Amino acid sequence: MASSLFVINEWLPEDLIGANGWERQAESFKFLEILRDKPDRIAVLEGSPWMGKAYRLMRHQDRIIRMLSKYLHQSILVDSNKCLRLNQGELKSLPDEMKARSPSEDLYLVEVYYTAGASALITTDQKLLNALTTTGIHVESRDDFLKDYLLISN
Amino acid sequence: MRLTIKNFRSIREQDVELAPITVVYGPNGSGKSSLLYALLTLKNIGLNPNQPPAGFFNYGFASLGGFESVVFDHQTERSVALGLTLERDGRELSYKVAIGENAGDFALSLEKSGEIDIKLNLPVPFPYPANQQAQASVASDYGSLGVIWNGITAQVQAEQPSQEAQERANKLATYLNELIETVRKVSFVPLKRGFSKPQFSTVSISPMITTEDEIASFISNNNKYLVPKISLYLEKILERDLRVNFTPGTAIFSLDATDRNSGVASELVNEGFGVNQIVYILAKCLHHDAGWVCIEEPEIHLHPTAVRNLARALAQIVREEEKQFIISTHSESFLLALLALVDEGEIRPAELACYLAHKEKRVTRFERQAVNEKGQIEGGLTTFIEGELEDIRAFMKVTN
């Protein structure tokens, strides 16, 4: 079975913490479950805002959020089959045009995508989506991506 | 080093590569303890083969019962086979013991680049008073070397005596006896541990050194060198130090811990069980004669922060005291702390062997989960949160 490598922007920890409502929280949990069952992986950058949000998730007091964070940590982030962990020193320099088009706050996501040779960058950020559409980066909105990804498993 | 286990309890046949820190985890009843007991059984045989097989499965703190209770599927026509293999410098040294209901086989082999240098096999009855011999002759640059082996210990003599030939013979003997010496240095920290008395008097110490009186005596006998080391690690784990206080004019002593923050001292028995048992664990780990230390669930009665400190302390003991650990655990905190040490570069990935134990149709399997240099583990640690996952699924169903 072909495997995919995704770069997910910060919607995943935000969804899991419940910031976007229970429906999105449940969808994101389901995404993790399907990711676990399929040979797919995500790529993350150590010390990034994404990891900061994941860490805050782990410090949450709510029982369900704590369980979701444990699942994210122990079943995805700690698993070398499920998560490619990159550090700053491993990031490749982006081609000039790609760099110029990337919003500065999301530059690290594009660098992770480019370095990891990812299949897709999944975002909720319309500005990022618009900026990257013509750069050769396969960028998809969270909702479009999950519509297909969650459907495939059913 | 590789541990081979065959027909032992729920283990049908498994090879387990051991690392300086080997951790086995999995559900209750999955066979984790059997891995540790296998090494202890080998030790029992190495220390005293002159007993019925049931004696090999009696560890002092626990007895697994007779041969029929221990052999896989209780099929007494099978043999329980346990062995160790050491690969080094292109050589493979292997020591194996097969235990039947009343008899067994010892086997010792040395291979180099696929060619057999020595292969000795000794069928024996049990109890076996180590009075039989298998012999072999090995060519060396200084003439033939004669190997005599009684199933436990090998002796090597130069057939054409010269200083060089005898040195070669001594070197070969040391090498051939390396695995049995390793087995003899196996130490075990059982679940039943800790101190329940406020005072002790010195008792004689058995090779298995298991009872609290033996551990307390061992600590007091080694007050000068061992107690500071125990204190060093106890302070790292639980911010306590250890002191042995003798009652003047008597052989009675107490083991006391002092809280480094408050300065308050109390007998170990009056400390929480967490502190109490850690002293027991550290005494066994730091015993000068311990090489491989098997620890059953070191995390019990400890706060997760102390569990993390314990994992770090054990890793330090591996580095500084040259001990090796085989640990069964139900604690993801313990395992995550070890993985964090790999990520920090304190432990190399090859120094940490992680095994998920599980049963397939009553048969135990140890599945190795490779660790990478970033402290990630192949397959993740979902096993520790299976139950909670069910709760999350239930919760999501409710909200849907």
**Across residues B65-93, what is the average pLDDT?**
95
**Across residues A62-80, what is the average pLDDT?**
94
Structure tokens given for B224:
């000068």
Q: Enumerate the β-bridge partners of residue B242.
A: B257
What is the per-residue pLDDT across B13-29, written as a single tens digit (0 to 9) for each? 999 999 999 999 999 99
Nearest to B294 by CA among B198, B186, B208: B186
For chain A, which residues make up each domain, given as ranges? 5-152
Q: Enumerate the β-bridge partners of residue B258.
A: B241, B265
Phi, psi of B65 (to 5 degrees): 100, -170
One-character DSSP codes across B333-392: HHHHHHHHHHHTTSS-GGGEEEEEEEEETTEEEEEE--B-TTS-BTTTTGGGGHHHHHHH
**Across residues B250-271, what is the average pLDDT?**
93
Q: How far apart are CA B191 and CA B323, in angstroms?
A: 20
Chain-chain contact of B379 with A79 (C-beta, under 8 angstroms): yes
Q: Which residues of A touch chain B, with CB atoms under 8 Å apart?
A: 22, 26, 29-30, 36, 64, 67-68, 70-71, 74-83, 85
Give the per-residue pLDDT at B16: 98
One-character DSSP codes across B271-294: S-HHHHHHHHHHHHHH-TT-SEEE
* Dihedral angle over CA of A94, A98, A103, A104, nearest 10: 20
Give the per-residue pLDDT at A152: 61
Chain-chain contact of A79 with B336 (C-beta, under 8 angstroms): no
Chain-chain contact of B384 with A74 (C-beta, under 8 angstroms): yes
B399 vs A contacts (CB less than 8 Å): 22, 26
Considering only CB atoms, B376 lies closest to which of A22, A67, A85, namely A85
Give the per-residue pLDDT at B397: 61
Residue A24 has pLDDT above 60, yes or no: yes
Interchain CB contact of B391 with A (< 8 Å):
yes
Instruction: Indicate which of A41, A67, A74 best probes the interface with B, i.e. most B CBs within 10 Å of its own CB.
Output: A74
Write the burial class of residue B355 (CB in 10 Å: 0-12 exposed, 13-18 middle, 19+ buried): buried
**Across residues A42-68, what is the average pLDDT?**
92
Q: Tell me the CA end-to-end span of chain B in Å, nearest whole number.
A: 52
Residue B187 has pLDDT above 80, yes or no: yes
For residue B59, which amino acid is it? Y
Structure tokens given for B311:
């994992």
Residue B399 has pLDDT above 90, yes or no: no
Chain-chain contact of B379 with A36 (C-beta, under 8 angstroms): no
Considering only CB atoms, A70 lies closest to which of B374, B376, B388, namely B388
| Residue-wise burial string across B62-84, b where 16 or more C-beta atoms lie within 10 A, e elsewhere | bebebbeebbbeeeeebbbbbbb
| Closest chain A residue to the Cα of B372, Cα to Cα | A80
Chain-chain contact of A79 with B380 (C-beta, under 8 angstroms): yes
| Contact partners, residue A68, CB within 8 Å, separation at least 6 | A16, A25, A29, A57, B392
Considering only CB atoms, A67 lies closest to which of B372, B375, B388, namely B388
What is the per-residue pLDDT across B152-185, written as a single tens digit (0 to 9) for each? 999 999 988 899 999 999 999 999 999 999 999 9
**Across residues B47-76, what is the average pLDDT?**
95
What is the per-residue pLDDT across B345-368, written as a single tens digit (0 to 9) for each? 999 999 999 999 999 999 999 999
Instruction: Indicate which of B343, B382, B384 best probes the interface with A, i.e. most A CBs within 10 Å of its own CB.
Output: B382
The CATH fold assigned to A5-152 is Rossmann fold (3.40.50)
What is the per-residue pLDDT across A3-22, written as a single tens digit (0 to 9) for each? 999 999 999 999 999 999 99
Residue A1 has pLDDT above 70, yes or no: no
| Contact partners, residue A24, CB within 8 Å, separation at least 6 | A11, A15
- Strand B21-25 and strand B352-360: pairing? parallel
Phi, psi of A12 (to 5 degrees): -65, -55
Phi, psi of B95 (to 5 degrees): -130, 125
Residue A62 has pLDDT above 70, yes or no: yes
Chain B 308-347, residues with CB within 8 Å of chain A CB atoms? 332, 336, 339
Structure tokens given for B45:
């045989």
**Across residues A86-109, what is the average pLDDT?**
93
Chain-chain contact of B381 with A81 (C-beta, under 8 angstroms): no
Write the burial class of residue B156 (CB in 10 Å: 0-12 exposed, 13-18 middle, 19+ buried): buried
Residue A147 has pLDDT above 70, yes or no: yes
CB A62 within 8 A of CB B395: no
The more confident residue out of B196 and B394 is B196
Minimal C-alpha gap between B339 and chain A (Å): 9
| Contact partners, residue A148, CB within 8 Å, separation at least 6 | none
- Strand B91-99 and strand B80-88: pairing? antiparallel
Phi, psi of B214 (to 5 degrees): -65, -45
Phi, psi of B6 (to 5 degrees): -135, 130
ipTM of the complex: 0.92
Domains of chain B: 1-127+176-186+291-315+322-400 (3.40.50), 194-290 (no CATH)
Chain-chain contact of A78 with B374 (C-beta, under 8 angstroms): no
Q: How far apart are CA B131 and CA A74, in angstroms?
A: 54
A83 vs B contacts (CB less than 8 Å): 376
| Residue-wise burial string across B89-115, b where 16 or more C-beta atoms lie within 10 A, e elsewhere | eeebbbbbbbbbbeebbbbbbbbeeee
* Dihedral angle over CA of B384, B390, B396, B397, nearest 10: 170
At B132, is the secondary structure helix, strand, or coil?
coil
